[in-house]
Chain A
Amino acid sequence: MADSESQSYLDPVAISRGENLGILARKVVEGYRVGEHRSPFKGFAIEFAQHREYTIGDDPRHLDWKVLGRTDRYYIKQYEQDTNFVVQLLVDGSESMNYGGGKITKLHYAKALAACLAYLVLLQRDAVAVSLFDSESREYIPRTDSLGKIHHIMNRLAAFEATQKTSLGTAMGDIARIARARGIIVVLSDLFDDEEGFERGLQQLRFGGHEVVVFHVLDPDELEFPFKGRVEFIGLEGAPKLETSPADIRKSYLKEMDAMRQRMRVACERTGSHYVLANTGLPLAETLSGYLVFRNKVCAR
């Protein structure tokens, strides 16, 4: 797809408008699908319901060959109707997500990513729900499988503004309680939160049988710490101010940041979740398609 075109939609002003967010999502997804990539999001639990006698015209693929072998009679398996799976999008709307060294913030990026995922899921007639949270769940868009609802989702995403602290573990726990049917939980957050709470959240979600994908959204500044001279860092989410020479602490900071990312990755691995680094400095399409291709490979095994 035309990355520059999609990136052009990654404009903070544009993303603030639902319509533009929808256009962006469509562009990104269609770009992905043009590559003949199949959606990696598939139903995976088809439950057996009952047998009935075979009649002419039934798909012989559904013959229960074991019963035939035992009874010498032809019976068709009937299954529960394939239910649409639900993708729960958890978007971290805390104040820390407001940081952006470039044009867009992490929140802008997370919104765009959520929009793309929502569009992709709805396009294949599966259901998506969106939860925007900070210290608690702020906005919840209930599950819908109607593409017509996409505009509503985009509008809600676009309008959301982050102002509060994060409590990722709480948000994840809430979703774990709400989401009865097993589905896919996609967390889009910078994970600047209580790490234990986050891992606990992961465990809860996984215990609920959900598949969890964590998009760790980080700004290039947070990843590379390129600051020079003398800088006063004004902490978001109530963190204190700090004046320092970045050159003095860069090495140490990077070490801390890498260690945190490593811990998040390990926590995800420990809970069987997927960890994806979403560098807001990289094109959105690259990040998304990179994950989707990976997922396709994994799910195809």
Chain B
Amino acid sequence: MTFLNPAMLFGLLAVSLPVAIHLLSKPRLKRVRWAATKFLLASVQKNRRRVQVEDLLLLILRSLLVVLLVLIFARPALLTDAGPQLGGLAAPAVIILDDSMSMGQSDGVKTRFEQAKAMADDLLDHLEPGSSSALYLVTYHVKAVIPKPTQDMSILRRSIDQAPLTDGGSDLYPGIKMAVDLLKGLPGTHREIFVLTDSQTAAWRELGKIRDLVDLNKKDIAFHFLSVGDHGEDNLAVSGLQVAGTTAAVNQPLRCAITVSNWGRSAVQNVPVKLVADDNPPQDEGMIDRIEPGTSKIITLVARFRDPGHHSLTASIPGDRLPADNQRATALLVLDQINALVVEGTANPDFAARDGFFLSHALVPVSPDQAAQYYVKVATVPTDELENSTIAQNQVIFLSNVAQLTPRGAQNLRDYVNHGGALVVFPGPTTDVNYYNSDPNFSVLLPATLGRAQGPPDAQKFLGWQSKGYEHPIVTLWNKPESGTLGGIRVTKYFPLTPKPAAGGTASPAQAAQVVVKYADGEPAVAEQSVGKGKVILFSSTATTAWTTLPIHPAFVPLLIRIISYVTSAPSGGLDLSPGQPFASAVDSEYAGQKLSVLRPGEKKLRIVGTIESGEQSAFLRYADTDLAGPYRLFIGDDTKPAAVFAVQSDPDESNLAQEPKSDLEPLLNPTATPDNAQPNASDQAQGSHRKVPGQELWFPLALAALLLALIETGLAHRFSQSK
């Protein structure tokens, strides 16, 4: 038998109290000069022995009662054989529970997460008496459910039981680092960290740092890495969903590229893929014939939206043992129409020779009678129209052969881009290079500086665009053989572009410029950058046939369509988030203070989650509980139309359930030096030392005995007083 609270045994000293009271008590003695002493003597003689026996009996009972109470508080327990033991001394510990998406993999009965929770619960049973533990849930982020070690096992068990699985990605290092920092700040020399994970490769992405951390602290902290799940479970996942180069507009076919990955060991065939808009029946379906193990396949499905506003698209495949990655959602803003403004640098009476001719026609590539229904509306204006504040009504502005802008026009344009507008610049014969490179408002918008206009180098007749290897999203379409190539676009004159690095410290900080497409010689042909909330694309040659064949190339129309799609896509910050990433969106300030509700993935009922926050110039929708993947819909007040839709997408790597090879983890599983006062196990599966541990507690029968004793003592004391 042992005692879970042996310190309480000092209470046995309290047994001396009734004895001391019995022996030493001198209650206030009354003295009486008494005449009838002979009668007293007779009585005392008769009762002396009986009184002594009664007093002794009561003393014994009371002393026994004190002993029982002390034992109860000392929590005696029978010793039983235990399984593999962890640690060896009462110590503060941290239990790190991997709650990433991959832990949702089921073996047909239990998920890995359920197995890990059961293991954690079992851990608590085997902690040394007096030990305490904190509890962390880890994905990319660390959630300290119990931030500091507690001895309250009931709270620990409840927290483990209620711990939710997320769709987050795995990274064990931040959680282990946080646990080490916590334990190092605690007194004592023996501490433990238990990591329960499926040991997925992704979880060990910072293996080197973990090794270093363990090596540095192994003298003071015992690290235990406990693995659940089998090696390399087969898994099929929707690993990508992208709206491919088309603008989300009402009634326009929206092409969606859906990537399905096979993380299994054998090929899978005939994988049906569905595409669903919002919660409606599937809009499109397709079949992937075959996906080889370790590879991915892309299938393109089409969706259409009848109403403008915030929507979601969800691609799905049939469920398997990890259902969380069998679907992927994206959120998008469907526009009613795209307003495009074409600014012509020069006026030309010849309509076909105007600077905006090819642009305006390519932007509305339908017959005139269909133009009214087409989603792109084009207006062609002269340069000075840029001074007009109405330019903000356009989603994209094209500048074609504009020499300079007026100061006001340049300022207007800068504000327009900063507030989310898109600008596409085609220089031309009248372009003032110095202006483009030095104007304080206009130059900061451009992703590259312009060199002097020149012809092809090396006395070539023309310079062509690159013919393959397209990396920028605008031009990736032409990586497919069936899409042709952009190499046929020829340029006879151009402005050499020198992409600018990221600019900081200005009113409109710009990110680093990207090359959209290059010339065949590797020089940038088109560059782009984000400025404020908007985007700017700079061509190096004209939008007319003056210097290039681009306007008459078959790729011109789809290029413009993809440019429009690219520049009008999700606002800065995006509508697709990672698990745990908070969502925020500005709304009109009139909504401040109104209730905010959310419809979470898989739920049918709205949840009220707070109110719209008020900001300086606008109000904000904020929502942070984004651990589950899928579409989220936010509603303001009693409005039935969502004010915002965003999607949480899990990390595609999380679908790869292959575990980190044991050989890579060996140094962690078998540390060369053990903590001074600990007896760590190699792993939970290893055969640790078997020893006796506290089992059945005995406080309850002792409490019953104490109760019985108290009743007997009370009864006897009453009876003895009566008999006198």
Contacts and interface: CB of A to CB of B under 8 A. Distances in A.
Contacts of B36: 96, 99, 192, 222, 257
Contacts of A233: 32, 34, 37, 40
A190 B35 contact: yes
A242 B32 CA distance: 10
Nearest to B34: A233
A251 B43 CA distance: 8
Given A244-B44, A248-B724, A249-B724, A239 B29 contact: no
Contacts of A50: none
A245 B47 CA distance: 11
Nearest to B30: A231
A52 B724 CA distance: 74
B480 interface: no
Central interface residue in B28, B35, B40, B723, by most chain A CB within 10 Å? B35
Contacts of B44: 242, 244, 249
A113 to B, nearest CB: 17
B33 A253 contact: no
B30 A236 contact: no
* Size range of the chain A interface in the assembly: 35 or more
A250 interface: yes
B31 interface: yes
Chain A, interface SS category: mixed
A67 B664 CA distance: 157
B39 A248 contact: no
B536 to A, nearest CB: 103
A80 interface: no
A83 B43 CA distance: 50
B34 A235 contact: yes
A83 B47 CA distance: 57
Contact of B35 (A222, A227, A230, A231): A222
B29 to A, nearest CB: 5
B673 interface: no
Interface residues of B, number: 24
Contacts of A260: 39
Contacts of B721: 247
Nearest to A166: B35
B38 interface: yes
A249 B47 contact: yes
B29 A232 contact: yes
A240 B31 CA distance: 13
B40 A253 contact: yes
Contacts of A247: 721, 724
A277 interface: no
Given A227-B30, A230-B27, A249-B724, A236 B40 contact: no
Contacts of A96: 35-36
A230 B32 CA distance: 11
A45 interface: no
Interface in A259-277: 260
A261 B458 CA distance: 152
A232 B40 contact: no
A252 interface: yes
B158 interface: no
B43 A252 contact: yes
In the A-B complex, the 6 residue pairs with the closest CB atoms: A239-B37, A252-B43, A235-B37, A249-B43, A96-B35, A99-B35
30 contacts: A95-B35, A96-B35, A99-B33, A99-B35, A106-B35, A192-B35, A192-B38, A227-B32, A229-B28, A229-B30, A231-B29, A231-B30, A231-B32, A232-B29, A234-B32, A234-B34, A235-B37, A236-B33, A236-B35, A239-B37, A240-B41, A242-B34, A242-B44, A244-B44, A245-B51, A247-B721, A248-B51, A249-B44, A249-B47, A255-B43
